[in-house]
Amino acid sequence: MLAYLLEHNRYLNIVGIFVILAIAFLFSKNRKAIDYKLILHALGLQFLIALCILKTSVGHHMLLAVSHYVCRIYQFADKGSAFIFGNLTNQFGDWGFIFGIKVLPVIIFFGALTAVLFYWGVVQKIVQGINFFMQPLLGTTGPETLCAVTNSFLGQTEAPLLVRDYLKSMTKSELLVVMVSGMGTISGAILVVFVAMGVPAPHLLTASVMSIPTTIMIAKILLPETTRKDEEEVSVTLKSPANNIFDAIATGTLDGLSLAVNVAAMLISFVALLALVDAVIGFGSINVNVLFSYFGISAELPILDLKQILGYLFAPFAWLLGFDGSMALRVGSLLGIKVAVNELFAYQEMINMQLPERVVDIVTYALCGFSNFSCIGIQIGGIGALVPEKRKWLTELGVYAVLGGALANLMNAMVASLLI
C-alpha cells in the first residue's frame, strides 16, 4: 500500500482532496450549516463511480463500449460535413486538421441527435434513472439533483430548461447547485468535439459522471441549504417541446448551429486576445531588461509569457496531482488557461504538448468542465432569461460558480490520479 502511494506521488492526491475541501470550507457562506453527511455520501459516491469504471473489468468494458459509440457519432457527423466540404474533411491531406471543418459540424449534428433522443424520451429515462439513486443518497431536492445529473449530458443553459418551472421557487443554495453543476461538467456535444480532437473518451465520460456528486458536494459546502422543502415539490415532469420528430431535428440543428458559431467566435477572439496579452507581457519583460542594462545592472529577467505566469500560479495544484518540476509548470499552465480562457483551448494546448499518457489521462479530469469566467455571462444570460427575478442572485453567485466548478474538476482529478 505504501509503495502504491509513493508511486507517482499518489499520497499528494490525498492531501489535495483535503486542500480542495478546505478551500471550499474557507469560502463557505455559512460554515455552521454545512451538512457533513452529504459530504461523506458524495465523496463515497464519487469514489464508487471511479472504482467501478477504472478498477473493475465490467465497468471498464462498459465504458469502452460507450466510448466506441461516442467515436462512431463523430464518424457519422463526418459523413454530413464531407458532403458539404468534400476532401477538406480528410485530415491526412496536405491541409491537415482544420478545426472549423472537422469539429464544428459535430456540434451541429449532435444538437440534432440529442433533440431526437429527447423527443423519444431516451434522455429522460437515463436522467431519471440516475436521479432515482442520487436524490435519496444526497438528500437534495428533485429539481436541483435532476439539473446536476442532466448537466453531465446537456449544456449549462439547456439543462435548466428541464426544471424551468421550478427555478422561481428555488432557494439560493439550490440555484448555486444548478450553476456549479453547469460549470463543473461539459455537454455531450462538446464531449464529442474533444474526442474528435484526441482527448481520451473513456476518461471524459468518467469525469462527466463523477462530476454529478462532486459538483453537488462543493456547491453545498460553498452555500449550504437552510430551507427544507416538502416531498411533493421534488417530482419533475419532462417533455420535449417539439411537435414532431422533424420539428425536433430542425430545432436541434439550429441550436447546434448557434452553439458551433459561438464556439468559433469565442475561439477566434480568445486566441487573438491571448496573443495580444503575450506580446504585451513579452514587450514589458524586454523593456525591464533594457532598463536594467541602462542603469548598469547585470541581472536579467527571463522573457515571460502568459503560459509561464499561469503555470507558476496553478503549479501548486499540479504538484498535488503528483507532478513535479517542469511537468508541474506545464500542467499548471493548462489549469490556468482553462479557468482564464476555456477548456476547449486548454485541451487543444494539452494535445499540442504531447504529454505522457498518464499525464493526459489525469489532466483530462482536471479540465473537464465549463468553469471559466466567460461562462458567468452565459449563465446569467441563459438562466436569467428563464427566471429574470433571480438574475441578481445569478450575478452574485457567478464567481462562486466558477470557483465551485474548478474545485469539482480538481477533486475528480485527485480521485482519478489515486486510481490510475
Residue 340 burial class via C-beta count within 10 angstroms: exposed 0-12, middle 13-18, buried 19 and up? buried
Has residue 302 got a pLDDT over 70? no
Tens of pLDDT, residues 176-198:
999 999 999 987 767 877 887 88
Has residue 298 got a pLDDT over 60? no
Amino acid at 88: L
Give the per-residue pLDDT at 232. Answer: 46
| pLDDT grade for 404, boundaries at 50, 70 and 90 | very high
Phi and psi angles of residue 165, each rounded to the nearest 5 degrees, phi first = -75, -15
Domain membership flag for residue 248: yes
Has residue 34 got a pLDDT over 90? yes
Weakest-pLDDT range from 79-93, 124-138, 357-371, 401-415: 124-138
Give the per-residue pLDDT at 238. Answer: 59
Domain membership flag for residue 50: yes
Query: Cell triple for residue 110?
Result: 449532435
Q: How many domains does the chain have?
A: 1
Helices (runs of H) and strands (runs of E) counted in the chain: 18, 0
As a whole number of angstroms, the distance between CA 155 and CA 128 comes to 17
Segment 72-81 shows an average pLDDT of 79
Interhelix angle 11-26/306-320, rounded to 10 degrees, is 110
Domain membership flag for residue 204: yes
CB contact set of 226 (below 8 Å; sequence gap of 6+):
30, 33, 171, 173
Kindly report whether the global pTM for this prediction surpasses the value 0.95: no
Domain membership flag for residue 14: no
Helices (H), 1-150: 2-6, 11-26, 36-55, 57-85, 99-102, 104-120, 122-138, 142-150
Give the per-residue pLDDT at 70. Answer: 67
Better-scored residue on pLDDT, 382 or 312: 312
Domain membership flag for residue 13: no
Instruction: Please report, rounded to a whole number, the percentage of residues in the chain having pLDDT higher than 90.
Output: 33
Question: How far is Cα of residue 214 from the mean position of the Cα atoms in its chain?
Answer: 12
Better-scored residue on pLDDT, 26 or 71: 26
In the predicted model, what is the mean pLDDT of the chain? 82
Domain membership flag for residue 8: no
Segment 271-277 shows an average pLDDT of 76
Query: Cell triple for residue 281?
Result: 507581457
Q: Specify whether the CB–CB gap between 157 and 378 falls below 8 A.
A: yes
Give the per-residue pLDDT at 64. Answer: 73
CA atoms within 13 A on the CB side of 275: 6
As a whole number of angstroms, the distance between CA 175 and CA 404 comes to 13
Better-scored residue on pLDDT, 233 or 393: 393
Has residue 44 got a pLDDT over 60? yes
Any idea which residue has 458524495 for its cell? 42
Give the per-residue pLDDT at 58. Answer: 84
Domain membership flag for residue 350: yes
| pLDDT grade for 234, boundaries at 50, 70 and 90 | very low
Has residue 254 got a pLDDT over 70? yes
Tens of pLDDT, residues 238-247:
577 788 999 9
Q: What is the 3-state secondary structure (H, E, C) of 161-220?
A: HHHCCCHHHCCHHHHHHHHHHHHCCCCHHHHHHHHHHCCCHHHHHHHHHHHHHHHHHHHH
Residue numbers of the domain that contains 192: 33-419
Has residue 66 got a pLDDT over 80? no
Domain membership flag for residue 24: no
